[in-house]
């Protein structure tokens, strides 16, 4: 649960890092930009963070708070989003086609132009109690 008050993260690339429980929402939001590859971000917070057109590749984002995050055009390539919180999250043109274990309510998040695979449909329809075979 490290707090990063006022920390500036600009044009950073995190690779094979354990970033468990980090509070990225307390960083300096001016020019915040980072890409993540093979990182463990479990239990971290990206609440309200702006990360447009960034990449999460082969990352574990279990129980990450993505509430009100601006993730337009962001690619989630082969990421585990189990119990991640999406609420009022901007996901326009985001690519989640290869990610899994997510639960995203289309009525509470902006998904226009976002990419999902057929295997991801249960995560979009979960709230309706629909059985998909």
Give percent of the chain above pLDDT 70.
99
Nearest of 130, 133, 129, 108 to residue 118 by alpha carbon: 133
How far is residue 102's CA from residue 120's CA, in Å, rounded to a whole number? 8
User: Based on the structure, what is the number of domains in the chain?
Assistant: 1
3-class DSSP state of 49: coil
Label residue 54 by pLDDT band (50, 70, 90).
very high
Label residue 38 by pLDDT band (50, 70, 90).
very high
pLDDT of residue 29: 83
46's tokens = 């990206």
Place of tokens 């990352």: 59
pLDDT of residue 1: 62
13's tokens = 């690339």
Residue 129 has pLDDT above 90, yes or no: no
Residue 83 has pLDDT above 80, yes or no: yes
Domain residues for the domain of 121 are 1-133
pLDDT of residue 71: 98
Q: Which helix (H) or strand (E) holds 57?
A: strand 55-57
> In degrees rounded to 5, what are phi and psi of residue 127?
-65, -20
């Amino acid at each position: 649960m490290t707090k990063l008050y006022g920390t500036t993260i600009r044009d950073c690339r995190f690779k094979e890092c354990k970033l468990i429980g980090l509070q990225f929402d307390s960083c300096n939001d001016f020019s915040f930009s980072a890409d993540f590859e093979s990182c463990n971000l479990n239990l971290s917070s990206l609440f309200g963070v702006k990360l447009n057109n960034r990449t999460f590749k082969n990352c574990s984002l279990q129980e990450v708070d993505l509430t009100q995050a601006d993730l337009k055009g962001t690619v989630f390539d082969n990421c585990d989003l189990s119990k991640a919180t999406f609420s009022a999250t901007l996901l326009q043109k985001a690519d989640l086609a290869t990610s899994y274990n997510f639960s995203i309510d289309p009525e509470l998040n902006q998904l226009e132009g976002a990419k999902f695979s057929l295997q991801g449909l249960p995560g979009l329809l979960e709230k309706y109690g629909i059985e998909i075979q």
